[in-house]
Amino acid sequence: MEDFGEILKGRVGQETKDWAEAQPVEVVAAQPLNAAPIKASIAKYEKKVKEMLAKAEKLEIKTDAAESGAITLAGNLGSMHKELENIRTEAVKIPNAYVKEINNAAKKLTEPIKRMQGIIKQKLQQHIAKKTLARRQAQAIIEEKTKQLQEELNAEAEKSGVKAPQAAPIVIPKDENVTRGTDGSSFYTRAKWTVEVEDEKKVPREYCTPNQQLLDKAAEMGIREIPGCKVYEKHIPVLKGA
C-alpha cells in the first residue's frame, strides 16, 4: 500500500499516475429487484383513491352534517395514505438497507480521499502564495534598481546637456494560472470577493434578514408587540384519523 504521507511530500510520483491503469475497477452488478408484486398491491387502491378525490373536490360544507362527513372523508383518506405508506416502506426497507451498506462502505475510503485532497489543496495554495510573494518582492527590487538607474542616467544627461534615455522597465512574468500534474490533473485559483462580518452591530440594516424562527418563538413566549411586525393568532387546521 502506498504511503499517502509520502505522496503529500511529493516523493511518490509516477506510480500514482498509473493507479487507474494498474488497478482496474471491478463493478459488481446488483441483483435486480422485482417491483411487479408491490406495484400490483398499490394499484388495488387506485380506483378507490380516484373516487374519494372526486368526492373531496365536489365537497361543499354548509351544514353540521356536511362538516361531519368532511371530517370522516378526511379521516378515510388519512387511513388510506397510511396503508399505502406501509406498503411502500416495507417494500423499500431491504433495498434501502442495501444502498446504505454500499454507501457506508464507499464513504470509508472516499471521505479520507476528500480530506487528503483538501490537505493537498491547502499546501498548493500556500506554495502559490509564497511564489507570488517572492515574485512581487523581486519585482519591487527590480523597479527600485530601475528607478536608481534612471536617476543616474538623468544626472549624466544633465551634465552633458543631452536628453536622458529612458531605462526600459523589466517585468517578471507571472506564473501560469493553471498548473498541471503528470497525469493531466490541474490546479488553479479563482478570485472571489468574500465578506467576513467583524462587527454585527455595524452591518447596515439592508443587509440583515429578520429571523422568522426567533420572531415566532417570541410570540409563543407571550410577546404581543414587535416593532415592524404584526403579531396575531393564526388558526391551523388539524385532522386526525380515528
Domain spans in the chain, listed from the N-terminal domain onward: 34-160+172-220
Q: Which long-range contacts (CB under 8 A, 24 or more apart) does 87-96 make?
A: 87/38, 87/41, 87/42, 88/42, 91/35, 91/38, 95/33
- Supply the pLDDT for residue 47: 93
Neighbours of 135 (CB within 10 A): 14
Helices (H), 194-239: 212-220
CB–CB of 61/70 below 8 Å? yes
Q: What is the pLDDT of residue 2?
A: 41
- Cross-strand bridge partners of residue 187: 179
C-alpha cell at 176: 501560469
Cα separation, 54 vs 59, in Å, equals 9
pLDDT at site 5: 43
Cα torsion 127, 132, 135, 136: sign: negative
Which stretches of the chain drop beneath a pLDDT of 50? 1-17, 19-20
Q: What is the model's pTM?
A: 0.54
Q: What is the pLDDT of residue 19?
A: 47
Give yes or no for a contact between 182 and 14, defined as CB atoms under 8 angstroms apart: yes
Residue in the structure block whose three cell numbers are 361543499:
60
